[in-house]
Amino acid sequence: MFKNLKLKIICFLFITYFLSLISSGAYALTMSNSNYILQMGNFNMASGKPTGDNYKLGFTAGQTAPGLFTGTNYKVRSGFQYIKSIISFAFSVSSTSIDFGVLPPTEPVTRTNNLTISNGSANGYAVTASENHQLFAGCVGALIPDTTCDNGTCTQSSSSDWTNTLTYGFGYRCDNITGTDCASGFATSALYKQFADNSLGETAQNVMNGANVGRNKQATITYKVNISNTQAAGLYTNVITYIATPTF
């Protein structure tokens, strides 16, 4: 009998702010080096978050012309308060351990988990995914290879139909729950891809991405595995890594 197959899920939340201040003089407000330039008319001289029983306030002072300016073809949000998004960037995975149990030969098994993201950054976000290696049973030195789908053409970047029970391997698909942020390539329920394989030097691929702000956008990742009658018995595992990055 085949032992349990388990996946370990790792998720990373990267929120990166680059702000390097190197003062060369008491009145220098334009700062630069070979990698950046900061040009601002002034800096805030006071800020805080006063609260009370019935209110919560965030404020900054020292700006020349803060406010919202609009016209027929433009909208300008000016001031330090607009730098801080009202939607905090957050990312979660519903389960970090996927157990396929005992795998019956030629009977595909699927499992799912949900990715949830909230994004308030101006230029959207991306969630990438990759595996550390193909499903591997170290005790017997055997692999369950990544699927190439029914016609042998699906890869980490290209999807294809996978419905034949005699097509073996491991793959995934993405389906939207709220929002429409799953990466392209999953227009029908039969379409699957491989995970990018870090051990082969493959580049992590987008599984979700979006250009609009929003809270609690969700997608379901479906993992699918199918083995042949000759697959060696063992405990097969790998690690899937999701990295969520906002774009400012």
Alpha carbon distance 179, 118 (integer Å): 11
Q: What are phi and psi of 81, to 5 degrees?
A: -65, -25
pLDDT for the residue 56: 75
pLDDT digits (tens, 9 = 90+) for 32-45: 777 766 655 555 56
Q: Which tens digit of pLDDT belongs to each residue from 106-132?
A: 999 999 999 999 988 777 899 999 999
**Whether residue 150 has pLDDT greater than 50:** yes
- Read off the pLDDT band of 77 (50, 70, 90): low
76 pLDDT higher than 70? yes
**Vertex 246 angle, CA 183 and 14, to 5°:** 110
The Cα 144–Cα 227 span in angstroms is 7
Instruction: Retrieve residue 211's tokens.
Output: 């250009």
CA-nearest of 190, 4, 237, 225 to 107 is 225
* Per-residue model confidence (pLDDT) at position 170: 98
Q: Which domains does the chain have, with CATH numbers?
A: 5-16+88-246 (2.60.40), 40-83 (no CATH)
pLDDT for 182 equals: 96
The whole model's pTM is what? Answer: 0.72
N- to C-terminal Cα separation, the chain: 51
Name beta bridge partners: 130. 241
Look at residue 17 and tell me whether its pLDDT is greater than 50: no
Extract the runs of DSSP E, i.e. beta strands, from the chain: 5-13, 30-32, 37-39, 46-48, 59-61, 67-70, 75-78, 90-93, 97-101, 109-119, 125-131, 135-137, 142-144, 160-161, 169-178, 191-192, 205-210, 214-226, 237-246
Residue 191 pLDDT level (bands cut at 50, 70, 90):
very high
Higher confidence at residue 218 or residue 41? 218
Q: Which residues pair with 245 in a beta bridge?
A: 126
DSSP bridge partners of 129? 205, 242
Residue 77 identity: R
pLDDT band at residue 4 under the 50/70/90 scheme: low
